[in-house]
Amino acid sequence: MTVYLIDLFCGAGGFSEGARQAGAVVAVAVDCWDVALDVHKKHHPGAVHMLRTIGDVPPEQFAQELITALPENYREGIDWLHVHASPPCQQVSKARRNRCDVSDTISLVRYVLDLIDCISYNSFSIEEVDHHSIRELYDSEGIPWAVIDMSKHGVPQTRKRLFAFDGWNPYKLKASNPPKLTELLVAPDTAVYVTSSSLCPGRMQGWARGEYKGGYKRGFHISKPKLVHTCKLFYTVTSAPFFYYDGDFSFIGGVGLEELEQLQTFPIGYITQNATTHRRMLIANAVPPKMAWHIIKTVKG
């Protein structure tokens, strides 16, 4: 049995890359960002690539376009078709969920459900952040879901995501220990902590000196630093830069882009855009390939 993949909101290809490594054929990839799609094309040249805004046409119409784009050697009823979608989740992220209307995200997830329902799939997966509104949508539609802790499946981050699913069982995902940060990070010898750029070096040192412990200072909200010891699991990779600090909370360097690729379980050098900001976004917005590998292996049984 050959597994064929339709990857919606494919980005640079995190899910596609993991699926390829697991033996699937990446058949169709769709995204609205040409920069991301160019990276995907580089690594998955055999796929049909669609530069599209998902949701701009009726789901029945778009489903027919996706089905038509499947390769000629795909045999319905013999081969296996897996559809994956990772709708943008910024509206319902922890950083914004208390001050942002989530209706657009919910509408997009509902569109994806309608779209998938128009395709003769064998299995599907939809990745989102864990938000009660999305859970409620799935429950109302009778769609099974599970919250997956990716650190249990080889991803060296405390990244948890809500997955809707059919045709595979997330509770049968194989457990695997993630690599240690010391194996991935090229940290200076004096590095003890790592944190994101939302806490600039000056702010970090001020916190260490006891100048403030969170709250407001001169009208600006100052949050307590979220530190990760270099011997512990990394927290979720975002598009923000990450910095190293020593035991006295003094700034000593930044986390490199290749290190972020490894934290997301991409092969080193997978994303080779010239613009650093683009590279960070492409890395951070992806499904870790290792997670996708586990899902496709579970699909294949």
* Phi and psi at residue 61, to the nearest 5°: -70, -45
Confidence of residue 252 (pLDDT cuts 50, 70, 90): confident
Q: For residue 100, what pLDDT is reported?
A: 52
At 260, list the tokens: 């972020």
At 224, list the tokens: 């307590």
| Cα–Cα distance for residue pair 242/196, rounded to 1 Å | 4
In the predicted structure, residue 96 carries a pLDDT above the cut 50: no
Percent of the chain exceeding pLDDT 90 equals 66
- In the chain, what are the helix, strand and coil shares in percent, each to the nearest 5? 35, 20, 45
- Cβ–Cβ under 8 Å, residues 185 and 252: no
User: Considering only the top CATH level, what class is 3-175+279-300?
Assistant: alpha beta
Mean pLDDT, residues 59-64 taken together: 98
User: pLDDT by residue (tens digit) across 128-162?
Assistant: 999 999 999 999 999 999 999 999 999 999 899 99
Q: For residue 290, what pLDDT is reported?
A: 98
Reported for 147-155, long-range contacts at CB under 8 A and 24+ positions apart, including other chains, are 148/173, 148/291, 150/288, 150/290, 150/291, 151/178, 151/233, 152/176, 153/290, 153/291, 153/294, 154/178, 154/179, 154/265, 154/290, 154/291, 154/293, 154/294, 155/264, 155/265, 155/288, 155/290, 155/291
Q: For residue 223, what pLDDT is reported?
A: 54
Cα-to-chain-centroid distance, residue 53: 19
Residue listed under structure tokens 């000593």: 252
Q: Where are the domains of the chain?
A: 3-175+279-300, 187-255
CB atoms within 10 A of CB 69: 16
Burial-class residue 189 by CB neighbours within 10 Å (0-12, 13-18, 19+).
exposed
207/126: higher pLDDT: 126
Short-list 150, 147, 133, CA closest to 286: 150
Sign, Cα dihedral of 39, 45, 51, 55? negative
Mean pLDDT, residues 171-183 taken together: 91
Mean pLDDT, residues 230-257 taken together: 83
**23 Rama class: left (phi>0) / alpha (psi -120 to 50) / beta:** left
Alpha helices, H only, the chain: 14-21, 34-43, 59-69, 103-117, 132-141, 181-184, 201-208, 257-263, 276-284, 289-300
